[in-house]
Structure 1
Amino acid sequence: MPAFLIKYHRPTGALNVTEFETLTEATLARHDLDQINDDPDVELVAIGAKNLESVRHTHARYFFREKTAPPYPFVA
């Protein structure tokens, strides 16, 4: 099953989504990013789902400001 890694900047709504073949791959990538992320406002989330539309439905809060947020990576 595919999986998605979401990088989300809470204050701005900036968002980046990367697709992986498995949840294990997405989780390992999230772990690697956790090791270097020093911004407490950035959420890193690995989610297994059939497709991105499913993620948009189940985790809608990450996509709420997608159209108005600055591009990721954002400029703080």
Structure 2
Amino acid sequence: MNNVIHVVLVYRRETGELLVQESFADGDTAMRRRFELERVAEYAGTEVIVLSADSEQTLRETHGRYFYTEAELARQLRDALSAA
């Protein structure tokens, strides 16, 4: 795939807090960064992941829980239901 971005996220599921968001053009570099962050004691018990897509907007559409607050997700759901 051309023009793919790879985004490393550190996400605390209990609070819904996105702690780190870093973008990379190279998937290998993104994975190395992920492994570095997994060893950070401060991030114990968090999700450290790499997502890849053609754009950040695509990631927001497909993995919104990492990027939006609960209120924003609820609003999007209400909007989608009212449009249906």
Q: TM-score range by the shorter chain?
A: 0.7 to 0.9
Q: Counterparts of 1:1-76 in structure 2 under 5 Å? A: 1-15=4-18, 16-37=20-41, 39-40=44-45, 42-65=46-69
What is the CA RMSD across the aligned residues, in angstroms?
Answer: 2.1
Stretches (4+) displaced over 3 A: none
Equivalenced residue count is: 67
Q: Give the TM-score taking structure 2 as reference length.
A: 0.66
d(CA) in 1 for partners of 2:56, 2:70: 14
Q: Give the TM-score taking structure 1 as reference length.
A: 0.72
**What displacement does 1:58 show?**
1.3
**Higher RCO (CA-CA < 8 Å; seq separation 6+):** 1
- For structure 2, list consecutive stretches of 5 or more residues without a partner in the other structure: 73-84
Q: Which has the larger radius of gyration?
A: 2
d(CA) in 1 for partners of 2:27, 2:66: 18
